[in-house]
Amino acid sequence: SYELTQPPSVSVSPGQTARITCSGDALPKQYAYWYQQKPGQAPVLVIYKDSERPSGIPERLSGSSSGTTVTLTISGVQAEDEADYYCQSVDSSGPYVVFGGGTKLTVL
């Protein structure tokens, strides 16, 4: 079955740049999406179609894609960015959704 691989954790100091990667063999052909989830809350879409940002999402969050890896970049990290981040894509055989294992972003 198709898998997406994320690092379990990333730590950065306030004001620095955080980069969270997500790897998957089908990513060159399928779009990736990113969700932010804070404790006790539902996930929130922060990036769609690799690099598009929904309205209301701060510009310091951005997405990029290169080959089999997509990256969520958070520039000028703030304390409020501390959360779990999940990448998501679909299997090329149909709308079978796949999530990465999630990355816990810690703001030191």
- Where on the chain is the footprint of other proteins (CB under 8 A)? 1, 29-31, 33, 35, 37, 41-45, 48-49, 54, 84, 86, 88, 90, 92, 94-102
Nearest distance in Å: CB 39, other proteins: 11
How far are the Cα atoms of 16, 23, 50, 55, 107 from residue 66, in angstroms, in the given order? 22, 10, 10, 24, 26
Question: Which residues on adjacent β-strands are paired with residue 66?
Answer: 69
Nearest distance in Å: CB 60, other proteins: 21
Give the residue with the Cβ less far from other proteins, 3 or 15. Answer: 3
13: nearest Cα among 63, 76, 62: 76
